[in-house]
Amino acid sequence: MRSAGDERLWACFSHFGGLLGIAPPLVIFLVLKDRSSLVRREAKEALNWQITFIMGYLVLLVLAGLLSLVLAVLSFGNAAPVLTALPFLLYIANALFSVMGGLRVSSGGTYRYPFSIRLVR
The per-residue pLDDT for range 3-16, each reduced to its tens digit, is 888 899 999 999 99
Which DSSP string do the residues of 82-108 spell out, in sequence order?
A: HHHHHHHHHHHHHHHHHHHHHHHHHTT
| Phi-psi label, residue 75: left if phi above 0, alpha if psi -120 to 50, beta otherwise | left
pLDDT tens-digit profile of 20-75?
Answer: 999 999 999 999 999 999 999 999 999 999 999 999 999 998 888 888 777 777 77
- List, for residues 70-100, the tens digit of each pLDDT value: 777 777 656 667 777 888 899 999 999 999 9
For the chain, the domains span: 4-106
